Amino acid sequence: MAMKDSDVRPGEIRATIDPETIAADAGVVFIGRVRSPWRERRECPRNISAARERSQPADLEIDAPWRPGLAGLASGDRLIVLYWMNHARRDLIVQAPRHRPDPAGVFALRSPARPNPIALATVKVLAIDHAEGRITIDAIDCLDGTPLVDIKPWREAMDVPAGAA
């Protein structure tokens, strides 16, 4: 997604290279797609908390070759979903989000605009159809059709940092 210099807000800095123009270091295989109620950017929630406030479930649609990997998942499970924000720009290294008083580096933000636009959300499984490869989840903050990178089980013992309240 090539952006113009006019698309840069005051305080933002573009990277000296555009990740879309360099050779890939690794091959990523998408395992399916997110089926969400959000069809346009302007209607899509900005984060998973905002998505939950809207009470709109979504589906993770897993492609046939990867469906055996769903074995062991059940309704009620919590998952970490990794997805590729394919509409996000990749050339900003410092951003000026509207919700912050000062610009910040991309690695200090959860913005989808980053060198590798990988997003994550911790979600709850509402239902699962192993044969069809469909996982219904409580919420998601991405557009319909967003590519899925991976799904991992969320485990409190591993995923909550020691000493966290």
pLDDT per residue as tens digits for the range 50-75: 999 999 999 999 999 999 999 999 99
Single-letter residue type at 101? P
Q: What does the pLDDT read at residue 25?
A: 76
Work out the angle at residue 162's Cα, subtended by the Cα atoms of residues 137 and 77, and round it to the nearest 5 degrees: 20
pLDDT band, residue 6 (cuts 50/70/90): low
Q: What does the pLDDT read at residue 165?
A: 67
| Domain count for the chain | 1
5, 15, 39, 109 from 146: Cα distances, Å: 26, 25, 10, 20
Q: Does residue 12 sit within a domain? A: no
Bridge partner residues of 80 (DSSP) = 122, 152
Q: Does residue 51 sit within a domain? A: yes
In the predicted model, is pLDDT for residue 139 greater than 90?
yes
Q: Does residue 71 sit within a domain? A: yes
Q: What does the pLDDT read at residue 2?
A: 54
- Euclidean distance between CA atoms 128 and 94, whole angstroms: 39
The range of the structural domain enclosing residue 56 comes to: 28-154
Q: Does residue 6 sit within a domain? A: no
Q: What are phi and psi of 94, to 5 degrees?
A: -125, 130
Q: What does the pLDDT read at residue 34?
A: 98
Q: Rounded mean pLDDT of 151-156?
A: 95
pLDDT band, residue 143 (cuts 50/70/90): very high
Q: Does residue 8 sit within a domain? A: no
Range name among 48-52, 96-100, 113-117, 148-152 with the lowest pLDDT average: 96-100
In the predicted model, is pLDDT for residue 93 greater than 80?
yes
Structure tokens at 150: 């991976």
pLDDT band, residue 86 (cuts 50/70/90): very high
Q: Does residue 164 sit within a domain? A: no
Range name among 76-85, 87-96, 116-125, 156-165 with the lowest pLDDT average: 156-165
Entry pTM: 0.86
Q: Does residue 91 sit within a domain? A: yes
How far the first Cα of the chain sits from its last, in Å, is: 40
As a whole-number percent, the residues of the chain with pLDDT over 90 amount to: 72
Average pLDDT over the chain reads 91
Check if the beta carbon of residue 7 is closer than 8 Å to that of residue 87. Answer: no
**CATH number of the domain bearing residue 92:** 2.40.30.70
Closest CA relative to residue 41, chosen from 162, 122, 142: 142
